[in-house]
Structures are given as C-alpha cells and as structure tokens.
Amino acid sequence: MTTLHLRITGMDCADCAAALEKGVGNLNGVQSCSVNFSSARMKVEFDAARVAKEKITQRIQALGYDVRNEAKEHELAPLSKRGGMLGFIPFLFTRTATTLAAMGGLLVGLGMLAEWFAVREDVVKLIYWLALAVAGYPILLAGVRRLWLNREIGINLLMAMAGLGAVIIGEEAEAASVIFLFAIGEALEGYTMDRARNAIRKLVALTPSEATTLRPCMDCREHLGREGYTGGPCPFCGTHERRVAVDSLNVGETVLIKPGERVPIDGVILKGNSSVNQAPITGESMPVLKLHGEEVFAGTINGEGTLEINVLRKASDSTLNHIIHLVEEAHGRRAQSQRFVDRFARVYTPAVVLAALFIAVVPPLFGAPFWNLADGTHGWLYRALTLLVISCPCALVISTPVTIVSAISAAAKNGVLIKGGAYLEALAKVRAFAFDKTGTLTYGQPAVVDIRNFSCKNHGEHCASCEDMLQLAAAVERRSEHPIALAIVQAAGDRGKHCGYIVEEVETLSGRGVRGKVNGKNVVIGSHALFDAEHPHTEIICQTMKAVEANGHTAMMVSEDEHVAGYIAVSDQARAESRGALAELKKLGIQKSVMLTGDNAATAQSIAASVGVDEVRSQLMPDQKLEAVKSLRQEYHNVAMVGDGINDAPALASANVGIAMGSAGTAQALEVADVALMSDNLSKLPFAIKLSRKALAVIKQNVIVSLALKAVFLALALPGFATLWMAVIADTGASLLVTMNGMRLLREKDR
C-alpha cells in the first residue's frame, strides 16, 4: 500500500473537504482518503498497481480543486503580508472561480446602474443573465461534478438550483445577486481560512533557505604537489566560508552563524557564545545565553556573538519542522464538538432540502400560489428557493475548525504544542493535575544548598574555612562526571575563586564517593555510609548528618588527612516558576494537585512544601504512578499528567491529557505526550488552560450564532418575509462572523 500526501488548493469550506474525501475515496484502488481542511492537506492510501498517482490528481482537478507543489510553498508568502480588504482584493484574482465572481459582481453593479437610469428592460435582463452566467458557471460546474462523481447534492448545486429557479420566476436581478453574493461569500471564507493557515506558513518562513558553511578547500590547485598533496581536502588552506542550500547540509558539518542571523539548522555550539532569541520554538520572551556545547534550534535568532555550530540533524528533521508537522496534524484531529457539528450538518442539509421540496409542492396543491403574485406576494416556489439558500450549513461547518486552528496556532507561538482539537477540548475540562517531581517541578539537576566546616562557629554564614573546604572538594571532583561532582564544581566556580591546586591519584569509590591527593593532602568526599565504615567520627556529627538528610538533602562528607572536616549538602531545586504556576492553577479552579515521585518521603515533602502541591505520593515505581493517575481519574474524571516524557510514559498515556516537559529531549517530548511545554516553563500551564477554555467558549458561541441565524431566517422564509438576497447575505454574514470570532484566538498571548 502506498501513502500519498498532497497540499490542496481551492478549498473554501469544510464541505469541500468532504467532497474531496468521497470523490477520491471512490476511485478503484484507493484504500482511504482523508482531508484536513484546516491545513489544506490530503492523505491518500492506495494500491499503486490499481490506480496511478496521476489519476488521483486528475480526480481532484475534476472536482474543481488543484494540487500545489510542496517545494513552492514559499510562493504563498505574499498573501500573508496584507490583511483586510487590501489582502482580499488580490486574493480574488488568484483563482479562476473567484475572478469570475468578481467579474459577475461588476456586471450586477452595471445592471443596477442600468435600472437606475431606466435603460430598456431587455438590456437590463441581458446584463443580469450575463452576470449570472459568469459568476454562476464555476458554481454550477462544481455542483454537477459532485453530483456526477460523488452521487450527492452539495452546497454549490443547491445554490445553482436556487439561482436558476429565480430566473424561471422572473427574478433575474435577484438570481444574479444571490449567485454573486454566494461566490463572494465562499471566497471570503477561503480567504479568512487562508489567513488562519498563515500561522503555519510563518513558521515555515522562519528558516532561511541558505547557510554559511565552513568547508575545507577541495582539490586546491594552488597547493597540488606540495609535500605530497595530490587532492581532496587541502591541508594548507584550512576552511572557507561557502553559502549553500540548507537542505544540502549534512550531519556533522560546521555552520557559521553571524550576529543577527537566523539559525538555519539544529546544531551544537563548537565555538563562541551568544544570546539567542528562542521565541519561535519555546515561546520565551527573553533571549537565552548559549555557551559551548549547548544546542541551538533552526528558526531562532542569533544575538550579538558569532557562533560556529556542528549540524545535529538534517533540515527535514529539525525541531522546527517537527513542530510544523505536529501542528498541521493537530489541526486534523477533530474535537468532540467538531465531530458533533459534522454529524449534525450531514443530517441537517438533506432534511432542509426535503422540506424545501415539500414547501414548493404541497401548499399549491391546496390552492396556495406557486408563482409570485403581481402585488409582490412571494409564491411557495420562491419561499422554497429561499429555504434552499438558508439550508447551506457553511457557518455551522466552519465554526469549529477555524477556532481550533487559531487556538492551536496561538499556543504553538507561545511555546505550547497541543497535538489536536480533542486535547485542546480535554485541557478545558481538566480538574486535577498530577506532577512528576524530578525535571518537572524541579530542575532535575542537583545544586549545592549548604556548606559546613565543623570548625565553623557561625553556620549559615560562609566563612573562610567553609570556602576552603568547598574549593578542596571541587579540586578532586573536577575529575568526575557525576552530577553531584558537577554541582560541587559549579558552586566553587560561582564563588569566583580558582583553586590552583595540584591534584593527583584521583580514584572513584564506586557509588560512595571519590578521593585523591591535593597538594599532598589525602582528601575524601563521600557518603555518610562511607564515612561510617572508613572514617570514624563523633555521634554529634552522625546526628547532624541524619538531620541534613531528613530535610531531603544529599550530604557528602569531606575529610582532610583522615580528619573529618565537614559536609557539603546538595539537592534538586524546585523550578522558580513552580509555586506561582500551581497557585495560578488553583485560581483557575483546579481542584487537586498531586506530586508523584520515586524519591524518598523526606525529599518529596521538602519539594512539595516549597512549591505548594496539595498531596505527595513518594517512592513510586512507574506502574504505581500509572495506578495513581487511574485513581485520580476515578475521583476527578478529567486529569492531566505532567512529566518528563520518557520514564513517565505509562502515566502520561493513562491521563486524559499527557503533558511533557521539553527537557526530556525535544523530539521525544513531542512524540510521547498530547501537549508539550517547549520552554520547560510550568507557567505555560495556566496559559494553556485559559486558552483551551476560551476556545471551547468561542466554539459554543459560534454554534449558537450559526443555528440561531438559521432559525430566524427559516421562520421569516415560510411566511414569505425573507428574500433570496437577504438569505444569502445572512448565510455569508454568519460564516464571516464565526470565522472572525474564531480567529480572535490567534492574537492570544501568555501575559
């Protein structure tokens, strides 16, 4: 089975997507066809032996749409530079159907002027017929194609029938106006949806098309023959700057990024340091200082320094590309409310068509007028045609997807990846949060929190003896890669002192500590258990160490030439924003916050007290975390789990919404969870909750507005008060109203 992904053009509403799915799906040899209207993408699974790719493209074109070359996606960029009517006018002339609609509108205007100046009636009628033919041709063609290929009556055919019916009863002006207004309304829907899709195109545009590489001079003519050089990389020239296409970069190459340039590809810094604006990836408002060995992402903006980076991934595999694909896929995952609207529309439209047929036929059987009367009273055929126009479910069908697209895109711009409308909806209903501790509520890295030399009389105030002991320990720990060793070295470096010690004979004591000689002194840094076994000390020191560990710290004791000097305590620190984020969640009505951790109770309680969670469950294995989430779901029904995206995978999968921290490795975090916080910032959680609730409220507003307007005009159509042009303006107006209401979410920011 072959899978084909296509970018579709010409789709103005969600009904277009339904027509394409059925039309392409009916081809012999096509296993399945799904169209994501929000991102204008089609996925086709087919048997290449039974149906050719070209035949699929031909069927798409036969239905009135087209396929865009993915390589030319950048050609859409000019449309995103202007909004409002200034952007809509050039948009009209990008497709044949919308161009004909504009021409039809000019002819309608000309007909009205002819009526105003009392031009002969047959000339006026001719102008209106011409307007109807020009604007109505693509509408009738699309309707007939759908009837022929899909065996179903679509919106276009309904409108064509209404227009032709109006001509039959002598309402040429109204027929031409209705068709023009419908065509312009469809174009406006397509334009506004195009504006919503631009949020993704802007992400695509973040990555430059070229990069500056540092490549060796190859087959250097100047040095050929020198010292046996016969070709290949020149050993005398070094590297040269070359501008190349980003797509041609290979993993391991070196790329030069100058101040102010966009980073073209994911990489690790080899030389230089600079502040990098990571907002497109993480949503962080302030630039982040990047040093040697740290990763930078494609699409971010380099600050004041020059960087040389080692390419980590090919352009197609960059984090930014991954985000773009995930957001586009997210647009296609339908929320429960969207599925309801789709099911409702499928029943609603045929029901109204049958009702229109009933209205046109039954009342005249009992003496009611079939045709319009001379006194202006509308006959029942006219009322039935008006009902056909009102039956178009455009506003209802587009009300949900445009809102979901806008919300997901706004979340992505603010560093929150929501992987579908279903998860956006689920976020709005969350009533309890479960949090992993390490790497989620905390930084996941130990830091020195206490230093005490037992000779120090004023514990808590850094004295010379405490500082000397720290520097002595750091001198030995510099030879170790253990996280605790790195924390001790970091603390010594933060105090701005340089040891200047001669360190020899460093030896790691398997899981218990490290020892070595510093300026001839035997120095040991190790656990309390190590010192209990090998370095005798007083009961008072023992009690002191137990008290430190009871507070949730890991204490490393230090000895100099068999003299127990003191201890250095390290601990994983709570994230700076954890407490504020949890407090904000409570304000939003979250009923319960629980910390799930494999750590001991003392450590867990220490962190819990500092961040303000409601409940702590410690010493849990992954399967026990899973059971904890299940029990929370039984009690609160809608539960979110926040974890590091890898070792919390079972619990994340069990929750209604699994939320991963980006620190788990961006690619892994994106894959494993329903939502990912790209900046590791828990303060994004309240923003995501507020955004999802607002999106749900907007969806409800849109559905109510759509159905209410339909009900009003149906009530007006039956007694003959509503006209055809009033009905089409109401339908178009409702579509635009719900679209613009949904697109408001694009402007949402984490404040």
Is 436 marked active-site? yes
Distance CA 296, CA 114 (A): 65
CB–CB of 444/663 below 8 Å? Answer: yes
3-state secondary structure of 384: helix
The residues, ordered by sequence, that sit 6+ positions from 282 with a Cβ below 8 Å of its Cβ are 415, 662, 678, 679, 680, 681
Active-site choice (436, 644, 674, 750)? 436
Closest CA to 412 of 326, 525, 537: 326
CA angle at 208 for the pair 95 and 269, rounded to the nearest 5°: 155
Measured at the CA of 220, the angle between CA 215 and CA 224, to 5 degrees, comes to: 145
Do the beta carbons of residue 45 and residue 25 sit within 8 Å?
Answer: no
Taking the C-alpha atoms of residue 414 and residue 40, their distance in angstroms, rounded to an integer, is 23
The Cα 471–Cα 156 span in angstroms is 80
In sequence order, what are the residues at sequence separation of 6 or more whose Cβ sits closer than 8 angstroms to the Cβ of residue 254? 213, 214, 215, 239, 270, 308, 309, 310, 311
Backbone angles phi, psi at 598, to 5 degrees: -90, -5
Spatial strand order in the sheet of 30-36? 30-36, 41-46, 2-9, 66-68
List C-alpha distances in Å: 484 to 531, 553, 556.
Answer: 17, 12, 9
What element of type H or E holds 337?
Answer: helix 336-365
Cβ(415)–Cβ(684) below 8 Å: yes
Instruction: Report helix, strand or coil for 428.
Output: helix
Catalytic residues: 436
